[in-house]
Amino acid sequence: MLYGNALRDEIASAGTTPLIGVYDMYSASLAAKHYDALFVSGFGFAASYYGLPDIGFIAWPDMVAFAERLRGAFPRHHLLVDIDDGYVDTELACHVVRRLERSGISGVVLEDQQRPRRCGHADGKQVLPLEDYLAKLDRVLASRTDLLVVARTDATDDEDIMIRAKALAATDADVVLVDGVRDVGAIRRIREAVGTKPLLFNQIAGGKSPRLSLTELAALGVDVAVYSTPCLFAAHRAVEDAMTRLKAADGLLPATGATGGAGVGEATALLMDNLRRHSTR
């Protein structure tokens, strides 16, 4: 199966294609019941795998191994993986792209940040000289055959954003992402700057970008919407609440079932579905 082409076709269809950020196999199992496209964000992976912020700690073998496990469990879902800056080195970026493509990953996001890197919605981001990033991007594009590539800029200056958005749209990258867009007006300007190239918008709760529905994004000409951390942040609140209630109840577990929390039966059924998909791939 050509996973990259399948995602291209999905993006080319009417409306805005949503990709849901997952941070481990369990969150992916739940998200996959509701959506056909999943996203592995650097923020979620750094938080879940290392317990650290998204500032450059991710080791590429860890990310590749997780992506490979996801593909094994979800053989028919679109899978987009954030590979940050390609782990600094251009040769390494190309190697990771080839590994992910052989593993059946649909696409990757490659950013123009320089180290020390930051979450796309954090302050203090620094970007590579445009020529340096374009050279890396061109090498990555030449190393893939089917894999979809999202070219991402983390520029924060309005003039620089427009210059970079136009430059990225002129490459053979499949999609353009300007991360940390602050308002609807900027989305409109970026949409005009990239011409006919598909445009991706990244939404993260509490981030710098406005909260917009898929209908609103489609009206703005956005082709893809990535929801980076809905599972992670939902788990954060749910686990915190569960621990507070357990302590208040003197260690008495809550009831399970329709009016209570999940239990071993529901969790096992979810995981058995994964096992069946592994067995029939």
Q: Mind listing the pLDDT tens digit for each residue in 124-138?
A: 788 999 999 999 999
pLDDT over 60 at 258, yes or no = no
Residue 23's alpha-carbon distances to 30, 141, 152, 220, in angstroms, are: 11, 26, 21, 29
The tally of CA atoms less than 13 A away on the side-chain side of residue 219 is: 7
Q: What is the percentage of the chain residues whose pLDDT exceeds 90?
A: 81
pLDDT over 80 at 281, yes or no = no
| Mean pLDDT (the chain, rounded) | 93
pLDDT over 60 at 221, yes or no = yes
Task: Transcribe the chain into DSSP letters.
Answer: --HHHHHHHHHHSSS-EEEEEE-SHHHHHHHTTT-SEEEE-HHHHIIIIIS--SSS---HHHHHHHHHHHHHH-TTSEEEEE-TTTSS-HHHHHHHHHHHHHTT--EEEEE-B-SSP--TTSS---B--HHHHHHHHHHHHHH-SS-EEEEEE---SHHHHHHHHHHHHTSS-SEEEETT--SHHHHHHHHHHTTTS-EEEEE-TTSSSPP--HHHHHHTT--EEEE-SHHHHHHHHHHHHHHHHHHHTTTPPPPBSTTSB--HHHHHHHHHHHHHHHHH-
Phi, psi of 95 (to 5 degrees): -60, -45
Strand partners, 203: 227
Whether the CB-CB separation of 148 and 109 falls below 8 Å is answered with: no
pLDDT at 257: 66
pLDDT at 133: 97
Residue 244's alpha-carbon distances to 19, 230, 240, 250, 253, in angstroms, are: 32, 21, 6, 10, 12
> How do residues 157-178 score in pLDDT, each as one tens digit?
999 999 999 999 999 999 999 9
The residue type at 188? R
Distance CA 252, CA 266 (A): 20
pLDDT over 60 at 259, yes or no = no
Distance CA 207, CA 210 (A): 8
> How do residues 67-104 score in pLDDT, each as one tens digit?
999 999 999 999 999 999 999 999 999 999 999 999 99
Q: What is the percentage of the chain residues whose pLDDT exceeds 70?
A: 97
Query: What integer is the mean pLDDT of 54-78?
Result: 96
Whether this model's pTM surpasses 0.85: yes
pLDDT at 123: 75
pLDDT at 255: 84
